[in-house]
Amino acid sequence: MSLDPVRIADYVREISHDEILSRFEKLEAHEIQDKAAGEMVTSADIEAERQLTRLLTDLCPGAVVAGEESIAEHPERIHDVLEADLSFLIDPVDGTNNFIRGNHRFAMMVVALKKGATVAAWIYLPRDDVMAVAERGSGTLLNDEKVKLPRPPADISKQIAAAHIKRMPDDLKEMARENLKKFLKNSPAFCAGYDYVSLLRGWKHFSVYFRTLPWDHLPGSFMIREAGGCSRRLNEEEYTIHERGKGLLSTLTEPQWYQVRDALFPGRF
């Protein structure tokens, strides 16, 4: 079963404009619901996922298509995604809390998998009209131009972090909070898609997360690797949809990965 990355990118852009941007800064109270502690879902999330699911199913008959919201309702769907010859995972609005507040740092993300292995990914920033696309073995494109990651500053005091430490265990959180002072600044977007695109643009030099849900991180981690960067678990294991460990560090180069990991968590891993 073949993919059509250009058409899928067009679908992502179309649905983002029709179902997400059309509601930006226009949400009414009844369109916002609590999903879990500190997490919200909106009509934009639900409709964007529904419409993109329909288009992907029509484009790739027989593929399994699931999204963050459908899996929240039916957790067993993740097993179908893992086992399918071709499957798609959708994060309809990554950075929902930003979206609700009128903050432009939100994204739509899609990842394609074959038997659980990532083969392509799409990240779109609707408010900025920035599209990132990656295919296995073909590199990463940003608005149709191949990404060449810059070399990070050798001195970590000049590096900009996107470190999300809130969900870390207390000991790791305190260690990271103190050691982040070694870097120029920490500027997390609270939207994984936005942070990964910022790395691809060279605006930030690394990102680190503790909770690593597949719809949040498979697309961006894959894109960083395809662009020549390094993205793996803090214990150096590969990050895949099968991996249930915690923690994910993405950097512009492999030497930087060790430099940042050991500066943030000295002697821990």
Residues forming the annotated binding site for Mg(2+)?
Answer: 68, 91, 94, 216
Say how many C-beta atoms besides its own lie within 10 A of residue 33's C-beta: 12
Where would I find the H helices in 60-184?
68-73, 77-83, 96-101, 170-179
List, in order, residues 6 or more apart from 36 with CB less than 8 Å away.
none
88's tokens: 């798609």
In angstroms, the Cα distances linking 59 to 80, 114, 177, 192 are: 18, 16, 46, 27
Q: Enumerate the known binding-site residues.
A: 68, 91, 94, 216
State the pairing for strand pair 230-232/185-186: unpaired
List, in order, residues 6 or more apart from 145 with CB less than 8 Å away.
none
Query: Can you state the angle between helices 170-179 and 254-264, rounded to 10 degrees?
Result: 110
3-state SS class at 189: coil
CB neighbour burial string for 135-168, b if at least 16 within 10 angstroms, e if fewer: beeeebbbeeeebebeebeeebeebbbbbbbeeb
Measured distance CA(229)–CA(92) in Å, rounded: 25
